[in-house]
Amino acid sequence: MAVSLPGVMALIAGGYDGVAPTAIAQVFDPVAGTFKTAGRMATARYQPTATSLLNGTVLVADGSSNGGYLLSAELYK
């Protein structure tokens, strides 16, 4: 999942590494072509939804994990 951040950056969070869902979160800078670690999510998520909020945070919600569908959310600043 990727979502635009204020400016030109994008948050990329969650995914699948071929074995299991991941809890990795990174910020991508398309101008520099670089990724910067944004910490880890509290829950590994595959195919979550993400919404940029007006205050600059991102709400990452739902998705699935090894145990099935998730009904939880977390915020990134």
pLDDT of residue 29: 96
pTM of this prediction?
A: 0.85
Residue 67 has pLDDT above 90, yes or no: no
Q: Supply the mean pLDDT for the chain.
A: 93
Domain limits of the chain? Answer: 2-76
CA-to-CA separations, 3 to 19, 42, 73, in angstroms, rounded: 24, 18, 15
CA 25 to chain centre: 5
pLDDT band at 47 (very low <50, low <70, confident <90, very high): very high
56: closest CA among 2, 7, 1? 7
**Are 47 and 17 contacting, i.e. CB atoms less than 8 angstroms apart?**
no
